[in-house]
């Protein structure tokens, strides 16, 4: 079967082969194909909300080590991968939507320093739903959230991943 033209209908989602489902939804949680492998087992979905909820449930049900792995799979915002053009298409589009592709030298320095400091403290990159933010709110968030505990940041980070995931699903599936 050829790749479906996006967006696809919910009935098409429910009829995708397991392999095609994993291909289509394999990056709704950044580089976490395990999520698609698990969520495909929950078909058929009654509506797009149920599909989104299945991915949200996956994120809630996995253990702390798997949550940490999900967080670590995300790239730094405006980081090395972005500079080298090596982001996933989804991440590149999201970072561009937030204006992270056109930072001033001062903003780039603030992002780089804050990203390094954050990652050194927590062991994973700062995660925020870029499509719901702009440059200054991201920089402010990096600085404000640095004062949180690791447990708080794991929870906040996973909640941000849920937002990103939902928006990516809505890009794929006709509502």
Closest CA to 171 of 128, 140, 131: 131
- C-alpha neighbours within 13 Å on the C-beta side of residue 23: 11
Q: What are phi and psi of 61, to 5 degrees?
A: -85, -25
CA distances from 15 to 8, 20, 56, 155 (A): 11, 10, 21, 34
Long-range contacts of 112-120 (CB under 8 A, 24+ apart): 112/78, 112/79, 114/139, 114/142, 114/143, 114/146, 115/76, 115/77, 115/78, 115/79, 115/142, 117/146, 118/142, 118/145, 118/146, 119/76
Instruction: Please identify every residue annotated as catalytic.
Output: 74
């Amino acid at each position: 079967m050829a790749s479906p033209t996006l967006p696809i209908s919910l009935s098409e989602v429910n009829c995708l082969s397991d392999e095609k489902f994993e291909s289509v939804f394999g990056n709704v949680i950044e580089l976490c194909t395990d999520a698609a492998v698990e969520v495909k087992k929950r078909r058929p979905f009654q509506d797009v909300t149920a599909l989104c909820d299945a991915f949200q449930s996956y994120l809630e049900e996995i253990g702390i080590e798997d949550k940490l792995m999900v967080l670590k799979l995300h790239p730094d915002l405006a980081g090395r991968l972005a500079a080298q053009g090596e982001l996933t298409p989804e991440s590149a589009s999201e970072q561009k939507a937030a204006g992270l592709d056109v930072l001033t030298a001062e903003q780039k320095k603030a992002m780089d320093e804050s990203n390094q400091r954050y990652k050194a403290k927590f062991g994973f990159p700062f995660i925020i739903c870029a499509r719901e933010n702009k440059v200054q709110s991201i920089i402010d968030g990096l600085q404000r959230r640095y004062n949180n505990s690791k447990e708080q940041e794991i929870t906040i980070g996973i909640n941000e991943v849920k937002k990103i995931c939902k928006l990516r699903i809505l890009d794929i599936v006709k509502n």
